A and B are shown apart, each in its own frame.
Chain A
Amino acid sequence: METRKTALYEYHKSLGAKFVPFAGYEMPVQYSSGIVDEHKLTRSSAGMFDVSHMGQLTIEGNKDLEIEIEKIIPIDLKKIKLNQSKYSFLINEKGGIYDDLIVTKIEKGFNIILNAACKDNDFKIISSSLKNKFKITLHKNLSLIALQGPKSSQILEKIISGVSSLKFMNGNKFSYNGKDVYVTRSGYTGEDGFEISISNDFVEELAKKFISQGVKPIGLGARDTLRLEAGLCLYGHDITETTSPIEANLKWAISKRRREEGGFVGYNKIKSDLNGTLSRLRVGVKPDGKIIAREGVKIFSKDDKEIGSITSGTYGPSVNSPIAMGYVKFDFSKPGTKVFLEVRGKKHEAKISELPFYKKSYVR
Chain B
Amino acid sequence: MSEKKYSKQHEWITIEGDIATIGITKHAAEMLGDVVFVELPEKGKNVDKEGQAGVVESTKAASDVYTPISGEITDTNQSIVDDPGAVNKDPEGAAWFFKIKIKNKSELDQLMSKADYDKFAKENPN
Residue positions of A touching B, CB distance < 8 A: 29-30, 34-37, 39, 221, 224-225, 290-292, 294, 314-315, 317, 322, 344
Known contacts A30-B33, A225-B59, A317-B59; 20 further A-B pairs (Cβ under 8 A):
A29-B60, A34-B34, A35-B34, A35-B60, A36-B36, A36-B59, A221-B33, A290-B37, A290-B81, A290-B84, A294-B62, A314-B59, A314-B60, A315-B36, A315-B37, A315-B57, A315-B59, A322-B36, A344-B39, A344-B55
User: For chain A, what secondary structure do more than half of its interface residues adopt (helix, strand, loop), or is it mixed?
Assistant: mixed
- Nearest residue (CB) in A for B81 is A290
Flag B59-96 by CB within 8 Å of A: 1 or 0 each: 11110000000000000000001001100100000000
- A292 x B36 contact (CB < 8 A): yes
Count: A-B pairs, CB below 8 Å: 42
Residue positions of B touching A, CB distance < 8 A: 33-34, 36-37, 39, 55, 57-62, 81, 84-85, 88
Name the distance in Å between B89's Cβ and chain A's nearest Cβ.
Answer: 12
Name the distance in Å between B72's Cβ and chain A's nearest Cβ.
Answer: 22
In the assembly, what is the distance between CA of A317 and CA of B57, in Å? 14
- A291 x B34 contact (CB < 8 A): no
Most interface-central of A30, A35, A224, A315 (chain B CB within 10 A): A315
In the assembly, what is the distance between CA of A294 and CA of B55, in Å? 14
Can you show 11 pairs from A to B with CB atoms below 8 A apart? A34-B33, A34-B88, A35-B59, A36-B36, A221-B60, A290-B81, A290-B84, A292-B57, A294-B61, A315-B59, A317-B59
In the assembly, what is the distance between CA of A86 and CA of B62, in Å? 36
- Nearest residue (CB) in A for B32 is A34
Residues of A within 8 A of B39 (CB): 344
Residues of B within 8 A of A29 (CB): 60
Residues of B within 8 A of A30 (CB): 33
Residues of B within 8 A of A291 (CB): 37
Name the distance in Å between B63's Cβ and chain A's nearest Cβ.
Answer: 12
- A221 x B59 contact (CB < 8 A): yes
Residues of B within 8 A of A36 (CB): 34, 36, 59, 85
Residues of B within 8 A of A292 (CB): 36-37, 57, 62
- Nearest residue (CB) in B for A225 is B59
In the assembly, what is the distance between CA of A182 and CA of B34, in Å? 36
Name the distance in Å between B58's Cβ and chain A's nearest Cβ.
Answer: 7
Most interface-central of B34, B37, B59 (chain A CB within 10 A): B59
Name the distance in Å between A29's Cβ and chain B's nearest Cβ.
Answer: 7
In the assembly, what is the distance between CA of A224 and CA of B59, in Å? 9
- B55 x A35 contact (CB < 8 A): no
In the assembly, what is the distance between CA of A34 and CA of B33, in Å? 6
In the assembly, what is the distance between CA of A314 and CA of B36, in Å? 9
In the assembly, what is the distance between CA of A329 and CA of B102, in Å? 49
In the assembly, what is the distance between CA of A317 and CA of B85, in Å? 11
